[in-house]
A and B are shown apart, each in its own frame.
Chain A
Amino acid sequence: MSIRVARFLGWLWTRSVLLIACIVTVIPFLWLIASSFKSNEEFFRSTFLPMDGRRIAWERLTTEPFRRLFNELDFTNSLVNSIFLSSVTGVVATLCCAMGGYALAKFRFKGRGLCTALVLAAVLIPAPLIIAPTYQLLFRLDLLDSFAGLILPALAPAFGVFLFRQAIVSGVPNDLLEAARIDGAGEWRTFVTVVLPLVRPMIGTFLMITFLGMWNNFIAPQVVLQDPAKFPLSVAVAELRRGYYNDYGLQMAGTIISILPVMILFLVMQKDFVSGLTSGAVKA
């Protein structure tokens, strides 16, 4: 077998495997999209698109689920709530974690080791374990049923502080900080103009992680928020599934609405996200 044939077979094999993986990944999405344009009765009559003999029966598809979501169930409100919670938490938590990580990485102060150990220990505590105490604390602080009750506990996650600490330890030389200080930069200016640009990939990555984390956060909003007008999409979509009977078209339409914005955002931010994930993977 010549090298060209072997290369071609390798190319064909790779593409075939990728094509199969692609089909397996895409089919559920296609099914989701097709189902979101169906009435409950049609949902059970056809798996993908409704067929009339060999013809696709377009007339049996309906935009009613989307109309109901936005007109009757006020999904616009839930969409704005989700964007607000995710973006505000993402931006502020990234800033807080970067500052926390910088302090732990570059400042010498009494109890620094203990602080770092506490941050590491906090990473180990599973979130469901602290639902009841958090609920009690939020009640005492009068933060139940408020956005602040969700945002405040998420502002300085231990994971984020530790991530930035590691990024700053390995990516920000002490000499550079010394030089900035000798040139007369204050601590804030040093942080903004020297430290943040050096951990830029981490900012994009962590912002994306926090944004997605809050967007998909289900248990905390379900416990903390009580007014349906404040529900984010994750809870609003879950509320579409009722204890007794379900409107499947409506659920599928709700799911599409809830995944579309993050898909777009991921496409826009994928360069930052990937560069943050791979930074430090190869030693310079």
Chain B
Amino acid sequence: MEEQQDRIAGFLPEWLPPGAAIVTALAIGSTVMLLAGAARQTPNEKTMWTFARPHYLMYEPRIAAWNKSGRTPFDLRLLSLPAMERRMMASFLGDVPSADVLEVERRGVSRTFGGPVESVGFYDLTDKLKEEGLLEAINAPSFSPWTTRGHIFGLPHDVHPVMLGYRADLVEAAGIDVSKIETWEDFFREMKPLMADNDKDGKPDRFLLNMWETNQDHLEVLLLQAGGGFFDEQERPTLDSAINVRVLATITTWLAGPARVAADAPNFTAAGNKLKADGYVVSSFFPDWMGDIWKHEIPSLGGKMKLMPLPAWEKGGRRTSVWGGTMLGIPKTAVRTPKDFDVLWEFCKELYISDQFMRDLYREGGIVTPVKKYWSDPIFDEPNAFFSGQPAGRLYINLAPLVPNRNSSPYNTFAMYRTVDALVKLAEEARATGKYDMPTLESRAKVYLGEAQRQVENVLKRNVFLSGGAS
């Protein structure tokens, strides 16, 4: 190799190493290739960005039809979620245009709500929604993640009620009747036979719930279901509320100790999917969008799963929660004239409010529309093969009006991780001390959540726009 390099080096200038010569040749070659292949496509007048491939595939034909109808043409671009959020934040902070319409996920949107309300990068849609009666037409909780200080900045895409998806093949083989289950206590009691140790290794063969202390989404689902959460309606932190204390203490008994019933089979990972396919966990939280993901990632579970409403925290309590959320927003930089806004608004409505969209959204993603007038459509009564023939859409719609509000604080993620920290500390302490009685767990949860509350308050205090410090 060295001899060969020396021979090559003989043809090169003294200062140019052979490797550098190769890189120079690559530079010249690739420049020629790019110049030869450069055919500039004229972009359409307006652009929309989305972050999810299923959405992209769903919108593509609809936008092609829109463009053919003679209206202002749009280009649709698919970006990964971090790419979209980075570009969106860079363009909002730099006050330069990005896309004309942005489809954004909940956590990305809340990051834009950190400053004065008039400086939010999205166009305020509150008056338009009122004027067109959309505030009443759309399920009210669906607006909550896009609302800050009374102003709505997005058109909701979904409702995302959460149910419990369980391994019907295992549950029915064990002769368990899920109709008897109303509360979490009922659920764990009735399902207990599934935790047998048939292989005699001293550990249960299965666990009843896919949940772990480090999973922030699961924790938020359970807190919101119980009526807790991280902020109140006025966006004041409520991490150490009595409800949160009780939920954290109860969850700890699920995760650790003699009555442990939960195990970790993380979502969106190969390892987690393998554990689910093997039946290591009997049930998982299922927002309406999750079914489509399992159908693609764990096709072997098709026909083996069923849905049931979330067991309530107490008799008569809420049987659902909420997980995720997406909106369409119009950046202010895209609206230079009132006519611009009209074009973009019509496009947004065509995409999200039409009956065609409602059908596509359900058929291709299993997602229920937030537009209430469509809920009676027979499409939602169709049997779903993945869920053993259950009418999944109807089951979710029955729960849609009960979905809790999500907050839109830019500190939601921070508060969520501080709460997760509190749960992790609580579970570790319980494992170390062996104390799993509720009074002890609740008193310790109060301490850890109190610390978390103070951390969030301290961060919030620095923001004069949200802490009330601004005049």
Contacts and interface: CB of A to CB of B under 8 A. Distances in A.
A135 B77 contact: no
A164 interface: no
A112 interface: no
A269 B268 contact: no
A236 to B, nearest CB: 10
26 contacts: A44-B273, A44-B274, A80-B30, A83-B30, A84-B30, A90-B27, A94-B20, A136-B96, A139-B96, A196-B15, A200-B14, A204-B20, A207-B20, A223-B86, A228-B77, A238-B80, A238-B82, A239-B78, A242-B53, A244-B268, A245-B293, A246-B297, A265-B23, A271-B5, A272-B18, A273-B19
B116 interface: no
Instruction: Bin the interface of chain A by size.
Output: 35 or more
B270 A245 contact: no
B17 A269 contact: yes
Interface stretch (B87-95, B170-178, B234-242, B462-470): B87-95
A211 interface: yes
Contact of A244 (B29, B33, B53): B53
Interface string A134-152: 0110011000000100000
Nearest to B300: A41
Contacts of A201: 17
A196 B17 CA distance: 11
B64 interface: no
A94 B27 CA distance: 13
Contacts, number: 155
Given A88-B31, A207-B23, A135 B94 contact: yes
B274 A268 contact: no
Contacts of B274: 44
A84 to B, nearest CB: 4
Interface of A: 40-41, 43-44, 77, 80-81, 83-84, 87-88, 90-91, 94, 131-133, 135-136, 139-140, 147, 192-193, 196-197, 199-201, 203-204, 207-208, 211, 219, 222-223, 226, 228, 235, 238-239, 241-246, 248, 265, 268-269, 271-273
A245 B296 contact: yes
B395 interface: no
Contacts of A208: 19
Q: Taking chain A's interface residues, is the majority helix, strand, or loop, or is none over half, making it mixed? A: helix
Interface of B: 2, 5, 13-20, 22-24, 26-27, 29-31, 33-34, 37, 51-54, 77-83, 86-87, 89-91, 93-97, 105, 268, 270, 273-274, 277, 289, 292-293, 296-300
A91 B33 contact: no
Contacts of B300: 41
